[in-house]
Amino acid sequence: MEVPLSHGLASRAAALATGYLCYRRGSPGRGLALRSLRRARREDIDDVGHKYYLELELEDVLDKDSTVNCTAEVLYHLGNKNIAPDVQFTLEGELKNTDEADNIFYNRVKSLEKELVAENIPDSHGNVPPEMEPIHLLAWVASGYVIWQNSTENTKFQLAQIKHVKQVKRSDEYLEFDYMILLHDMVSQEIIPWQMTVLWHPQHGVQVTQDSCQPKHVSG
């Protein structure tokens, strides 16, 4: 069944697929965002759930001219809130290589004498300091994992802001950051604080080792 592209169900499935893709293919040098949803079909699978077939165009957050087409399948499981939706995707064409940017960031953080700490990215005017862009993109990528794990057909999450981020000292080659982020649910208009611990290494990608929804009234 074709789903109108303007329909909430289509845009929610597209947002989830984009978050998942960003988590799987993003880095401090590359965040992916949805530029356009080309097509959406929905199939109701008895006793299993609702499956969406999507055709998407994604853009690089830093380089809006750099786009890639993608097909994705999203399966929301019936009734069970504890199972993350299944997402599969195929990219058409190549994403821009970010090895150089990733390695520059990695080496810069590795050479810091004190652990990196920052807050309110972007600021209240929507600005991200250039030196904080990789930290912002890393949160963008990692939040894709949180979005994937916690999405239902009735949610549409997006990273709104990093409230606070602190680098955690490690003895191995990984970088570790403890983030407090704000997720915006476009459906309910709720702003949800979320804590996530993120590991990253240029060769091994992004891992979210721990994440948890935080009470709404907590600030800072």
Q: For the residues of 54-73, what is the DSSP string, one character each?
A: EEEEEEESS-TT-EEEEEEE
Type and span of the H or E element at 198:
strand 190-201
* pLDDT at residue 40 tops 70: yes
Q: Is residue 2 part of a domain?
A: no
Whether the Cβ atoms of residue 162 and residue 180 lie closer than 8 Å to each other: yes
* pLDDT at residue 82 tops 90: no
Give residue 122's identity as a one-letter amino acid code.
Answer: P
Q: Is residue 142 part of a domain?
A: yes
Q: Is residue 176 part of a domain?
A: yes
Whether the Cβ atoms of residue 189 and residue 163 lie closer than 8 Å to each other: no
Name which of 5-9, 44-48, 193-197, 208-212 the model is least confident about.
5-9
* pLDDT at residue 80 tops 80: no
Q: Is residue 65 part of a domain?
A: yes
* pLDDT at residue 217 tops 90: no
* Domain interval for residue 143: 8-213
pLDDT at residue 220, rounded to an integer = 44
Q: Is residue 129 part of a domain?
A: yes
Q: How large is the average pLDDT for residues 36-47?
A: 95
Q: Is residue 128 part of a domain?
A: yes
205 vs 161: CA distance, rounded Å: 22
b/e burial code for range 106-125 (CB count within 10 A of at least 16 → b): beebeeeeeebebeebeeee
* pLDDT at residue 6 tops 50: yes
Residue pLDDT, tens place only, 147-174: 999 999 999 999 999 999 999 999 999 9
Q: Is residue 3 part of a domain?
A: no
Q: Is residue 138 part of a domain?
A: yes
Q: Mean pLDDT over all residues of the chain? A: 94
The count of structural domains within the chain is: 1
Q: Any idea what the CATH number is for the domain that residue 180 is in?
A: 3.10.450.10
The single-letter DSSP state of residue 2 is B
